[in-house]
Amino acid sequence: MAQLLLSTCTEPITVLLLGVQKVAHRILGVDDDPYILDLLRVLLESEGYLVETFDSAPQALKAAIKSPPDAAIVDLMMPEMNGLDLLRALRYDTRTHNLPVLICSAYYENLASANSELDKPDVYRLRKPFHVGELVDLVTEMVSKRGLKRRKKMPSGSSGPGRISAFAASQP
C-alpha cells in the first residue's frame, strides 16, 4: 500500500512514484467565460498541470501575489479589470514580475501593435478560438522557460524555497 506524504509550500509539486519524478506546475486561468475556464481546467489537468481558475481579474491578482503560479492564462477583455491591467499589476509586484502570461482574446490584433506590454519575452499571445494543441504547447513552453530561469538562479543541489515534495512510499 502506498502512502503519500506532502510538505506545504508554493512551488511546483514534485512527485516521486515508482522511481518516476514528475513536476506538477500550477497554472492560473483568468476569464469571465465559465466555458473557457472549464475547458482550461479539464484540458490542462489532463496534461498533469494543477489549474486554479478565476472569473475575476482582481481575485486572480490576489491569489497570484499570495502564491505565485508557474504561468497564467488571461483573457484580454474582462469586466472590472482587463487582461492588460492584470498583466501590468503582475509585472509591478516583485513576486510575479517574471511570471509567464498567455494573453488570449478574439480581439488581440486591435491591441497587439498598440501595447508594448504584449511584446515582452514572458508574454505569449493566443487568438480565440484556439486549437487545444496550440494552447498545451504554449503552456509547456512557458513553464519550461520559467524552469530554466529558476535553475540558473539557484545554487547547485538547491530545490528552492517553497518547493512542495510528495513521495509515494510503501507502508510497513
pLDDT of residue 168: 33
Domains along the chain with CATH numbers = 2-6+19-170 (3.40.50.2300)
Per-residue pLDDT of 132-153, as tens digits, reads: 999 999 999 999 886 555 544 4
Q: Which residues of 82-111 are buried (b: 16+ CB within 10 A; e: fewer)?
A: bbbebbebbbeeeebeebbbbbbbeebeeb
Average pLDDT over the chain reads 77
* CB atoms closer than 10 angstroms to residue 141: 14
d(CA 137, CA 47): 11
With cut-offs at 50, 70 and 90, classify the pLDDT of residue 131: very high
Please write the tens of the pLDDT for every residue from 24-50.
Answer: 899 999 999 999 999 999 999 999 999
Structure confidence at residue 38 (pLDDT): 97
Residues 44-67 pLDDT 10s:
999 999 999 999 999 999 999 999
Q: Are strands 50-54 and 71-75 parallel, antiparallel or unpaired?
A: unpaired
Over pLDDT 70: what percentage of the chain?
A: 65
